[in-house]
Amino acid sequence: MRDVEDAAPTNGSSPDLARRLGLFDATMIVMGGIVGSGIFMNPYVVARQVHTPFLILAAWSAGGVIALLGAFIYAELAERRPRVGGQYAYIREAFHPLLAFIYAWGLLLVTQTGGMAAVAVTFARYFRELTRAPLADGAVAVLALGVLTAINCLGVRAGSGVQSVLMLLKILAIVALIACGLLLADEATPADAGAATGRLLDRPVSFDLLTALGAALVPVLFAYGGWQTASFIAGEVREPRRNLPRGLIFGVVGVVALYLSVNYVCIRVLGTAGLAATATPASDVMKSALGGTGARLIAAGIAISTLGFLSQSMLTAPRVYYAMAKDGLFFKSVAWLHPRTRVPVVAIVLQGIWAALIALSGRYEQILNYVVSVDWIFFGLAASCVFVLRRRDRGKRDGAATAHRMPGHPVTTALFVAVSVLVVLNTVYTYPAHSAIGLGILVAGIPVYGAWRWKDTTWANRKES
């Protein structure tokens, strides 16, 4: 029997989002939201904090466990509330529309678009390096954003199809890196292996060790972030109560396997000391295996990976702005769907234009510093929705029958919330000025929310009179 959520409601002649995505699409979207260019470069950041293979892999494993906890949490939320906008809808229904609006406000203004601008410029740099194209970074970045915007305006199948192809190419690039590191590259020399390589720990068990592990875990957690964006397209997934939770779990497990394999290969070829000494570990591994050809291949892999991340962002985030406009909290035109493609064209174009402007401004790196501290606030808040919605659904037949319940709840859910709080506190402590600006951007959304509520109420009263 067809899922009741699969039946797209209609409002007269107005179209609604079309459910055209299956389990494979959902899994690719989850993986595409997590895997960017970071895995090709970030392993060295962890190696500078902890200095043995065991501790490096332990940090990436711990991050994978936390990401998997997040996937299980969002799987349950997706099954309980398979709504358009995902995380926005969970926060709105569990707590208050104000908190949901502030989340969406930050997403559009800086978090999503700032991240897209930074990734678009990264793509431009690798693209120009590979093609020697006589174009500025900003021009290539805007062109990439424009092409992806146009593709996603053609329909969710077109956007998802491009995203899936790019994700498969990303997986191919990562698998090629792993294979070359295992089969073609020599193992690290004793000098690169590091003095602490033969031991499990690089220092005695102490508060200092715990602090170092915590510092190593922060970049790992950010590298694993992004699974939540798949929930944004819940309104376009067939049988969302079944396919979206499975896609979340399958996607995160797949990324954990890839990340651990990449780090193992980097340690094997470069050693812990060599890994800590380079900012381009993937390129160094490929150079060791294939020389200059390997470096060019990994540059192409990074370019594809960044483009794939942009494609995923262009596909998912506009659904949040669409949901916000449907709630009367944003320009009504942003909730407009094309009658044939049934996608939120205005929301997609809005995001593309704003990301392009940020890319051209050159302020994207500064913007990213502002929002790092607030991103995990909403991870923790969304996880807390499980407590609220379970209590609210108690006694309801569909609420009690959820197949993808958070294992180990409430302990595991509380653990994820605690980790989110610790990440936020650590970032605020480390970057107090940037964090204050990020929080200020969110607080600035409060009067904007009030203005939209007043406007919506005034318009409704006029219609009644």
Domain CATH for 39:
1.20.1740.10
Count of all residues that appear for the chain in the document: 465
Residues 6+ apart with CB under 8 A from 116: 145, 310, 313, 314, 351, 355, 358, 359
Query: In the chain, how many domains are there?
Result: 1
Residue 273: what are its φ and ψ, rounded to 5°?
-70, -45
Can you give the pLDDT at residue 210?
A: 86
Q: Which two tokens stand for residue 9?
A: 């409601």
Is 281 a domain residue? yes
Is 459 a domain residue? no
Is 132 a domain residue? yes
- Token pair 């005695």 is at which residue? 204
- Token pair 């203005």 is at which residue? 451
d(CA 140, CA 299) in angstroms, rounded, equals 16
Question: Are 89 and 247 a contacting pair, CB within 8 Å?
Answer: no
Is 397 a domain residue? no
The stretches of 194-317 forming alpha helices (DSSP H) are: 207-224, 240-277, 281-290, 292-316
Residue 385's nearest CA partner among 13, 86, 61, 54 is: 86
pLDDT one digit per residue (tens) for the chain, 465 residues: 333 333 344 344 456 788 899 999 999 999 999 998 888 888 999 999 998 999 999 999 999 999 999 999 998 998 888 888 889 999 999 999 999 999 999 999 888 888 899 899 999 999 998 998 889 999 999 999 999 999 999 999 999 999 999 999 999 999 999 999 999 998 887 766 665 666 788 788 888 888 888 888 888 988 898 888 989 998 899 998 889 999 999 999 999 999 999 999 999 999 999 999 998 899 999 999 999 899 899 999 999 999 999 999 999 999 999 999 999 899 999 999 999 999 999 999 999 999 999 999 877 766 766 666 678 889 999 999 999 999 998 866 554 456 678 889 999 999 999 999 988 888 888 778 888 888 888 899 999 999 888 877 766 566 555
Is 33 a domain residue? yes
Question: Are 68 and 254 a contacting pair, CB within 8 Å?
Answer: no
Can you give the pLDDT at residue 431?
A: 79
Residues 6+ apart with CB under 8 A from 134: none
Q: How does DSSP classify residue 21? A: B
Can you give the pLDDT at residue 155?
A: 93
Is 12 a domain residue? no
Cβ neighbours of 307 (radius 10 Å): 24
Is 319 a domain residue? yes
Domain of residue 300 covers: 18-365
Which of helix, strand or coil describes residue 237? strand
Q: Note the pTM of the prediction, 2 decimals.
A: 0.88
Is 401 a domain residue? no
Question: Are 232 and 317 a contacting pair, CB within 8 Å?
Answer: yes
Question: Are 74 and 248 a contacting pair, CB within 8 Å?
Answer: yes
Residues 6+ apart with CB under 8 A from 38: 222, 223
Residues 6+ apart with CB under 8 A from 451: none
d(CA 250, CA 287) in angstroms, rounded, equals 32
What b/e string do you get for 244-280 counting C-beta neighbours within 10 Å, with b at 16 or more?
Answer: bbbbbbbbbbbbbebbebbbbbbbbbbbbbbbbbbeb
Residue 390 CA to chain centroid, in angstroms? 25
Can you give the pLDDT at residue 7?
A: 38
Residue 111's nearest CA partner among 316, 377, 315, 367 is: 367
Question: Are 32 and 248 a contacting pair, CB within 8 Å?
Answer: no
